[in-house]
A and B are shown apart, each in its own frame.
Chain A
Amino acid sequence: MSSDHATAEEQWSEDPRYRVSNRESVITAVYFASYIVLTIGSAWMIGGNKSIDEISLVLGFPDWLFWSTFALGGVFCVVPYFLIKHLFTDMSLEADGDLPDSRYGERGGATSSGPALADEGR
C-alpha cells in the first residue's frame, strides 16, 4: 500500500533487534537488584548493630566492610564479563541494520497491525 494513504490502519513491524535489546535490559536490571540486595544484606548481616568488640578485622578492614564491598564488589566486577559473553548479542546498530542471524525470530516476526495496537492502547 502506498504510504500516502497510510493513516490509522498503517501496517508496520517492530524492529527485531529491540526484543533482544529489551532482554539485555532485563538482565542488567536483575544484576543491579542482586547487587543491592547482596551488598547491603551482607554488610548488615555481618556487621549490623554490633559493638566494636564483636567486629573482627579482615586485611585490616572491619569484616562487614571487607565482605560486602571488597569481596562482593570484586565478584560483581567479574559477573558482567560472563553476562556479556554468554547472554548479550552482537548486532548492527545502524538505522537499517538487522540481527546477525535468525536465532531470535525472523525479521518482521513481531508484526503489529494498526487495529491490534489500537486495542492495546485502550
Chain B
Amino acid sequence: MQWDVIMPLAVYLLLMIGVAYWAFTKRHSAAAGGMSAQYYIGGRSLGWVVLVFTLLASGASAGTFIGAPGLVYDQGYGWVIAIMGQAPVAFLVLGLLGKRFAILARKLGIVTVVDVLRQRYESGVVVGLAAIGIVVFLTSYMVAQFTGGARVIQALTGVPYLWVVIISAGVVTLYTALGGFLADAVSDTVQGLIMLVGGVVLWVAILTAVGGMPSVTERVARQDPELLLLPGAGEFTTSLLFSYFVVFGLMAVALPHLTVRAMSYRDTDAMHKAMFMGPIIMTVFTLGFATMGVVARVLMPNIETGDLAVPELIIDMLPGPLAGALLTAPLAAIMSTVDSMLLIVSATIVRDLYVTYIKPSTSDRRASTMGSTVSALCGLVVLLLALRPPEYLEYLVIFSIGGLGSMFFVPLLGGLYWRRANTTAAILSMLGGLTTFVVTTQWLPEAALGFDPNVVAVFVSMVLFVVGAYAGPPPSQNVLIKFWGTNRDVQRVLARERGESAPAQAN
C-alpha cells in the first residue's frame, strides 16, 4: 500500500461525503411541490460557475483523463486532434439546444429528456425506446468508468480492485441518492476544479522534470517516429477525424446527462458565461492530459496497457502526496460522470415510467423519496457489475455514447426545430439509428465507408426521420402550441389536457 498516494485520495472522498451531507440538508428546505424538481434538476437555479463545471465534468470522463492519453501513448498525436472534438462541448450543448429549450422546460414543467420526447411525440413507443436506451447504455457506461478507474488505482496504490470499486461507487451513490442534482452539480464543480488544476500542475511538473517538450519530441522522433505523423500509427484519415469531432462534440448534445443540464441554469447571464468559459476549460483538460501520452511513451516505453500511461507517469515522476492529489483528477472525472448518469437513470425509472404510466397520482414528496431509493439501487447494480471488468476502456465508452447518440440526436433536435416531425419519424429514426450503429460496429465496418459507425448511424437516422415525417400524420395542434406557442397558449392547452375547465379570462 502506498499510503502517501492514498491520503489525498481519501481526503477527496471525505470531501465528497461532506457535499452529500450539505445537499441533503439543502434538499429538505425545498418548497412544497418542488421537491422532485429540486432532486432531479436543482430547481433550475444554477449560476455560470456550477453550470460550466457540471457540464464539463459530466462530459469529461475516464475517457479524457485515462483513455485518451492511453490512445496517444499507443498510437500517437493523431488522437490529440480527434479528442479535441470535445473542446467546444459546453458551447454546443447550451447553444444548440438554446434558450428555447430552457424556456420550454419551464413552460411544460419538464425535468428529463425523455419527458421532452414524450410531450413532443405523444407516443409510448418513443418513451419505451428512450427509457430502455438510457437504462442499458448509461448503465454499461457507468460500469466501464468504474472498472477502468479501479484497475488504474489498484495498479498504483495497491488497494485491492474490489475495495476501490466499493468505496468509489459507494460514495457516488451516497451523495447522488441523498442530495440529487444539486449534490451532483456542486461535487462536479469541486471535481472540475480538481481536474483543471490537475491538468495544469501535471504539465508544469512533468515538463520541468523531463526538461521541456523539445527534448521529449526529439527522443520520440528517434524511437517511434510514427507517433508524430499523420495518419501515423492510428491510421487516421480526414473522414475518421471528422467522425470523432461529430461523436465527441456534436452528438454529446443529445447525451441525456448533458442535455438535462441545458434546462438547469438560472438565467441567460449564467448561460452566456458558461458558453465562453466552457471551451477554454475543456481545452485545458484535453490538451493537458492527452499530450502526456507521448511523454509517457518516452519515459516509460514498456507499460502493458495504454490506460496506465499517465497514472504511471504521475507516480514515477512526482512525490507521493502530489501524485495522489493529481490522481484525484481521473477519479473525480469518473465520479462526476457517474453521478449525473445515475440521476438520469433514476429519473427515467421514477418520473418517466413509474409516475407517467403506472401511478400518475404519486405525490411530489413520494416521487422525490422514490428518486433517492432508485438512485441508490442503480448505484448498487453498477457496483456489482463493475466487479467483473471489461477489456478496452475508450472503445466501450465510444460504444455506449454512440448507442445513445444515434438514438437521441435526431429525434431530439429534429423535434425541437422542425414542426413537421411526428411520432413515425421519431420511432423510425431511433430504431434505424441504433440498428445501423450496432450492425456497422459489430458486423459490417466496411459499410461505414471509412467513417465511424456513429456518423453513418446519425445519417441513416436523419433520412428515416424525414421519410417518417412525411409518411405519418402531422403532429397534433396541441403539440405545436406546446412547443412553439406563447405561455398563455401553452397553459391553455395544458389545462385542457388535465381536463380542467379553461380559466375564464378575456382572450
Contact = CB atoms under 8 A, between A and B. Distances in A.
Given A40-B245, A44-B238, A57-B217, A1 B88 contact: no
Contacts of A31: 88, 91, 95
A76 to B, nearest CB: 6
Interface string B74-98: 0001001100110110011001111
B55 interface: no
A101 interface: no
A61 B213 contact: yes
A59 B419 contact: no
A80 B487 contact: no
Nearest to A10: B477
Contacts of B215: 60
A76 B88 CA distance: 8
Given A13-B486, A17-B100, A121-B420, A36 B275 contact: no
B214 A60 contact: yes
B225 interface: yes
A58 B327 CA distance: 29
B98 A21 contact: yes
Contacts, number: 201
Given A25-B95, A32-B250, A69-B80, A93 B267 contact: yes
B81 A90 contact: no
Interface string B472-507: 001101001100111111111001100001101001
A29 B96 CA distance: 7
A60 B100 CA distance: 45
A93 B249 contact: no
A49 B78 CA distance: 12
B473 to A, nearest CB: 9
Question: Could you tell me the dominant secondary structure of chain B's interface residues?
Answer: helix
Given A1-B507, A117-B477, A15 B87 contact: no
Given A17-B100, A96-B488, A121-B474, A48 B230 contact: yes
A120 B477 CA distance: 12
A61 B225 CA distance: 13
Interface string A60-77: 111011001110011011
A28 B507 contact: no
A50 interface: yes
Contacts of A93: 99, 102-103, 106, 265, 267-268
Nearest to B487: A96
A27 B487 contact: no
Contacts of A6: 492, 496
A37 B326 CA distance: 34
A48 to B, nearest CB: 5
Given A35-B87, A51-B229, A80-B91, 20 more contacts: A8-B477, A10-B477, A10-B481, A13-B486, A15-B485, A28-B92, A28-B96, A31-B88, A35-B249, A40-B81, A44-B238, A55-B229, A69-B81, A77-B279, A90-B269, A93-B99, A94-B103, A94-B106, A95-B103, A114-B477
Interface of A: 1-4, 6, 8, 10, 12-18, 20-22, 24-25, 27-29, 31-32, 35-36, 39-40, 43-44, 47-52, 55, 57, 59-62, 64-65, 68-70, 73-74, 76-77, 80-81, 84, 88-97, 108, 112, 114, 117-118, 120-122
7 contacts: A2-B504, A13-B485, A17-B100, A25-B96, A28-B92, A49-B231, A52-B221
